[in-house]
Structure 1
């Protein structure tokens, strides 16, 4: 348990950031799931649109520190390749 004022404040800040990052991660996963579902249905136009909306969300997660840059790039690359292969 935190004893000093500084450590108590830090604990409060950590909890607040955790909640924000958790919500952001969940939001990004929702966008990625929409792309996955569009790919599974075989609808290339829907998959392309879903991918276009998911990309900025994923990259925003990178700038906010939720995901590593290479992780986001890898996910986008793999999804784009799967969408391209639909045609």
Structure 2
């Protein structure tokens, strides 16, 4: 346990920051999971509407240091690629029926 006043304050700040970081990370992961589930269910339009919120959460996590910049870019790229992949499959299905 910290003894000096500055060490006590530092511990308190650390706990508050850790809680804030955890909340950002949980929010980001939840939105990513929700988007992936919508894509898996084939609800492309709903997933498309949720995409800006996902981007915002990922960018905020990267900006505040919860995740690294490259990790954020990779996450955004993967979720977009997944959504585009579903769109291409639907286009192929429509073309094959004709």
Normalized against structure 2, the TM-score is what? 0.82
Partner of 1:25: 25
1:72 matched to 2:72? The reply is: yes
Extract structure 1 runs of 4+ deviating beyond 2 A: none
Q: Which residue of 2 aligns with 1:55?
A: 55
Q: How far did residue 49 of structure 1 move?
A: 1.6
Instruction: Report if aligned partners of 2:58, 2:72 keep a CA contact under 8 Å in 1.
Output: yes
Runs of at least 5 residues in structure 1 that lack an aligned partner in the other structure: none
Instruction: State the SS of the aligned residue for 2:86.
Output: coil
Q: TM-score, normalised by structure 1?
A: 0.91
- Note the aligned Cα RMSD (angstroms): 1.1
CA deviation map 1:10-47 (0-9, x unaligned): 00110011111111111111111111111111122122
Task: Report the equivalent of 2:93.
Answer: none
Structure 2 partner of 1:45: 45
Structure number with bigger Rg: 2
Tell me, yes or no, if the aligned pair for 1:38 and 1:50 is still in contact at 8 Å.
Answer: no
Q: Structure 1: how far apart are the matches of 2:52 and 2:84?
A: 13
